[in-house]
Amino acid sequence: MTKKRADWRDYDWRLIRGEPVPVEMNHALDEVLVRRVGSGERQPTLRFWDRQGPEIVLGRFQSVRNEVQVENTDADGIAVNRRITGGGAMFVEPENAVTYSIYAPPELVKGMGFADSYAFLDEWVIEGLRSLGIDAWYEPINDITSSGGKIGGAAQARRHGAVLHHVTMAYDMAPESLPRYLRIGQEKLSDKGITSANRRVGPLRLQTRMERLDIIEHLINTFRERHGLRDGQLHPDEIAEAEELVRTRFATDEWKFLLP
């Protein structure tokens, strides 16, 4: 008998409200938590991120040379990180972005194509944004957009027997300094969502006039009502494991310059 596709309500979802951590730590936590959900050591989890500083984040398959003005990020002390999912480069400042990760069992998206699974895993966010008065919709493969402009982008990786799905949304306009760090022409800017100072981006602050933390609270409540969600936290051994991964992998040049 083949296992049928699971429903959100088949799981005991846990929430992690992330403390501000060093920027590499968020990427290491994605690796640790997706592995633990895959092995069954942790319940399926929704984690909201916070950061201690700004960062450039490259997709897993992007080359540093092609995307980043390293002489400028070096000069200004901006961290350049590589995440474990594909997708495009972003310049993220802690107060300008809303980022979350979903760590889900693969049965939740069983039989779905990749494009469908992106939209499926973010249905709750679309609902949450709409109830704030934003006419948000999913633009395949991985964009969350609205008539007020692009809001954010998602990225997925299937690893260690689980699905990692994370999303970064623009809370505020990207700073003028963006073109100083990322190698993107004006035309490509419009495609870069969070990174873009282009008017085709529709940041959440502009569209709701709400505080960033209030928006996050609203989204958490939407998830809770729709799928069920219990408050949880990072376990000390998860934190220790992620810190070790920062040291051995995520903060190393070998990883950051994996594609030079």
Partner 1 sequence: MHHGEYKTVGGKLVIADFRIRDDRLCDVSVSGDFFLEPAEALENINQSLEGLPATASQEAFAAAILRALSPDVEMIGFSPEAVAIAVRRGIDES
Residue nearer to partner 1 on the CB measure, 132 or 141: 141
Q: Is 240 in the site for partner 1 (CB under 8 A)?
A: no
Contact (Cβ atoms closer than 8 angstroms) between residue 156 and residue 78: no
Residue 220, preceding peptide bond in cis (omega within 30° of 0): no
Q: Is 145 in the site for partner 1 (CB under 8 A)?
A: no
Q: Which of residues 98 and 155 has its CB atom nearest to partner 1 in the complex? A: 155
Q: Does 53 bind partner 1 (CB under 8 A)?
A: no
84 binds partner 1 (CB under 8 A): yes
Nearest distance from C-beta of residue 112 to partner 1, angstroms: 12
Only one of the segments 28-36, 95-103, 155-163, 234-242 lies at the binding site for partner 1 (rule: CB under 8 A); that segment is: 155-163
Least CB distance to partner 1 at residue 192 (A): 9
Size of interface with partner 1, in residues (CB under 8 A): 25
Q: Is 62 in the site for partner 1 (CB under 8 A)?
A: yes
* Smaller CB separation from partner 1, 48 or 257: 257
Query: Which residue lies nearer to partner 1 by CB, 73 or 142?
Result: 142
Among 15, 48, 60, 218, binds partner 1 (CB under 8 A): 60
| Binding site residues, partner 1, CB under 8 A | 59-63, 66, 84-89, 114-115, 140-142, 155-158, 188, 191, 259-260
